[in-house]
Amino acid sequence: MNIIIRTYEDDDFSAVSDLEEAGLHDPYRSAVFVRQMAEICSETFFVAVREDRAIGYSLGTFVQHNPAEAWILRIGVKENNRRAGAGTALLVAVIDALYTHPIQTIRLSVSPGNQPALSLYGKQGFVQEKFIQSYFGPGEDRIIMKKERD
């Protein structure tokens, strides 16, 4: 599969908003999130493009009170494009962009039932730091994973 990874562009708005919404977010909140992140995280917001259409995205940001830490906030790939390398490429792109700064630790949260994501993150050196019950509310447990700079 020929996939190009590049930074987010304004023309990606509709496709990325659709992907964000497909992640069980409502359309308005998804649109607001994408627009705001495009402004705030322009260096660390990536899109996977196939046949001139966004099929996935990743987004990372720095921790304001600790310049040695960052978080990966989102990684999403359209369901019919999964298992073709886009998720790995998006994850590597955001990690590489974060590491152009003096970041020592990158964290992310993942559902304990999301085995494909847990595998993807593990292959890139992320390890479980802790488990938090009801992280996003009742029934929304999360594993916090971290990756230390080599």
Q: Which domains does the chain have, with CATH numbers?
A: 4-148 (3.40.630.30)
The pLDDT of residue 33: 87
Helix count and strand count (H, E) for the chain: 4, 7
The pLDDT of residue 106: 98
Single out the residue of 127, 132, 130 nearest to residue 146, CA to CA: 127
The pLDDT of residue 1: 59
Alpha-carbon gap, residue 76 to 22, rounded angstroms: 9
Q: Cβ distance 38 to 8 under 8 Å?
A: yes
Alpha-carbon gap, residue 82 to 109, rounded angstroms: 20
The pLDDT of residue 10: 82
Q: Cβ distance 103 to 149 under 8 Å?
A: yes
Q: Residue 35: which residues within 8 A CB-CB, separation 6 or more?
A: 13
The pLDDT of residue 23: 60
The pLDDT of residue 130: 97
Q: Which H helix or E strand runs over 38?
A: helix 27-40
Tens-digit pLDDT string for the chain (150 aa): 588 889 898 888 888 888 877 765 566 777 888 899 999 999 999 999 999 889 999 999 999 999 899 999 999 998 888 888 999 999 999 999 999 999 999 999 999 999 999 999 999 999 999 999 998 888 889 999 999 998
The pLDDT of residue 26: 63
Q: Which H helix or E strand runs over 62?
A: strand 53-63
Dump the DSSP string for 63-107: ETTEEEEEEEEEEEE-GGGTTSSHHHHHHHHHHHHHTTTT--EEE
